[in-house]
Amino acid sequence: MRKLDYHRLGNFRYAVITLVGEDGYPFSVSTDFKILPDKKIVLQKPAQPSKLDGKRVNVLFNHITGLPGGGYGDRRYMLVWGTTHEDNGSLSFEPDTMSEWDEKILPFDQYCAKSAPQGAKYLGRLQASVEA
């Protein structure tokens, strides 16, 4: 897995747990979290979903800062996939893969430039479907 920076992770205020429910819809819920000295991630257990032991989930840590004139900046997020484990009312999260963006590390224009292959791929597929 891409290395999870626990120091930067600790600067987020809350977490969003998401899993795919039995009805096929994604179910997201916000909750508090803390990082223990041994780097264990502990999530506050939400009322729903009621069963989270052994579930494959993603956890999004997202941050923006509102601007005085409206809108927002200081965008950053970490999206971490892994497994949740319930133990005596606490909910630990074992991460395995992640993706992230922090505009202070990768400015938006550079992020767009880095994503150009995805755009080209999309346009290529669209062109092919028009020609088919």
Partner 1 sequence: MIPVPAWVRETFDSYLVCEFTTVKSGKPVTLPLLPFYLPDSGKFVVTSSILFSKKAENVRQNPKVSLLFSNPEGSKAGKHAVLVQGMAHADDSDLDHGWEKYLGYWRKKEPYIDAYLAEREKFGWFWKRIVVQVEPKKILAWKNGDTSRSPEVFGA
Closer CB to partner 1, 38 or 45, in the complex: 45
Instruction: Report how far residue 33's alpha carbon sits from residue 15's, in angstroms, rounded to the nearest whole number.
Output: 6
6 counts as binding partner 1 under rule CB under 8 A = no
Can you give the C-alpha Rg of the chain in angstroms? 18
77 counts as binding partner 1 under rule CB under 8 A = yes
Asked whether 40 and 50 are in contact (CB, 8 A), the reply is: no
Specify the 3-state DSSP secondary structure of 18.
strand
Instruction: Report how far residue 66's alpha carbon sits from residue 72's, in angstroms, rounded to the nearest whole number.
Output: 4
93, HSE (Cβ side, Cα atoms, 13 Å): 30
CB atoms within 10 A of CB 83: 15
| Closest distance to partner 1 from the beta carbon of 38 (Å) | 25
| Closest distance to partner 1 from the beta carbon of 48 (Å) | 6
58 counts as binding partner 1 under rule CB under 8 A = yes
107 counts as binding partner 1 under rule CB under 8 A = no
Element (H, E) at 8: helix 6-9
Stretch that binds partner 1, among 3-11, 17-25, 33-41, 87-95 (CB under 8 A): 17-25
89 counts as binding partner 1 under rule CB under 8 A = no
Interacting residues toward partner 1 by CB under 8 A: 14, 16, 18-20, 24-31, 44-48, 56-58, 60, 62, 64-67, 69-72, 75, 77, 79, 81, 109, 112, 115-116, 118-119, 122-123, 126
